[in-house]
Amino acid sequence: MLSQYLYGMSLSTFLRSYHSFTNDEMQQIEASFEEMTVEDRHLLAEADKVCSRLYFVIKGVLRIASTNDKGVDVTHYFYKEDQFCTILQSFNERTPTPSFIQACCNATVISITNERLAQLIKQVPVLHEVLENIHQQKLLEKVNVKNLYIGANALEIYRRFLVSQPDIALRVSQKDIAEYLGITPQSFSRIRRQL
């Protein structure tokens, strides 16, 4: 049984915003997830391994990142409350990924393995379509967010980030933000002083 949600909406409320699941279906779904609390910087999925879990963020912020050929981390995206997070290709195809998932602050998540999700979809087939819709919606959101930064200088990129994702800006490290925006730490410090 999952603990009471104190921050975001419950998994059932979130999923029911996409489909009217029955109470029995929701009980099956919720019983299939495991809750865990992780500390800041904890790795939920490691680079060069298969990402075998789908996470739903209850509290906190996760990031998907990878390390470039110069040994520098590059943050690709942030996930906050009421969002699913996984490295989708690795999760679906069960193949190793160069990316990793890391908590950007203390966080509470619930998760399900790809094997357990496959069993659950056999019990609640409509869940597959619901998850596909959620993943497609998230992909479009990622593209729209990244498009905000195209053609802008570093100062403008940071301003747009503060407007579009103010809650993330307040909760993750300046280093993670700089990596996400593609701004060097030196430039980022200068930009923050200007603002």
Report the percentage of the chain scoring pLDDT > 90.
Answer: 80
Q: What is the pLDDT of residues 46-73, one digit of tens each?
A: 999 999 999 999 999 999 999 999 998 9
Tokens (6 digits) for 181? 């925006």
Establish if 82 belongs to a structural domain.
yes
Establish if 163 belongs to a structural domain.
no
State the total domains in the chain: 1
- Residue pair 85/30 in contact by the 8 Å Cβ criterion: no
Sheet of strand 84-85: strand arrangement: 34-38, 107-113, 53-59, 84-85
Structural domain range at position 39:
11-125
Establish if 59 belongs to a structural domain.
yes
Q: What is the pLDDT of residues 89-141, one digit of tens each?
A: 999 999 999 999 999 999 999 999 999 999 999 999 999 999 999 999 999 99
Mean pLDDT of the chain: 92
Round to whole Å and give the CA distance between 67 and 11.
32
Tokens (6 digits) for 56? 């739903």
Q: Which string of DSSP letters, residue by residue, matches 27-89?
A: HHHHHT-EEEEE-TT-EEE-TTEE--EEEEEEES-EEEEEE-TTS-EEEEEEE-TT-EE--HH
- Residue pair 179/75 in contact by the 8 Å Cβ criterion: yes
Question: pTM of the prediction?
Answer: 0.91
Report the percentage of the chain scoring pLDDT > 70.
Answer: 95
Confidence band (pLDDT; 50, 70, 90) for 9?
low
Establish if 137 belongs to a structural domain.
no
Task: Name which of 17, 49, 40, 51 is nearest 133 in CA terms.
Answer: 17
With H, G, I as helix, E, B as strand and everything else as coil, classify residue 119.
helix
CATH of the domain at 61: 2.60.120.10
Confidence band (pLDDT; 50, 70, 90) for 10?
confident
Round to whole Å and give the CA distance between 13 and 149.
32
Confidence band (pLDDT; 50, 70, 90) for 148?
confident
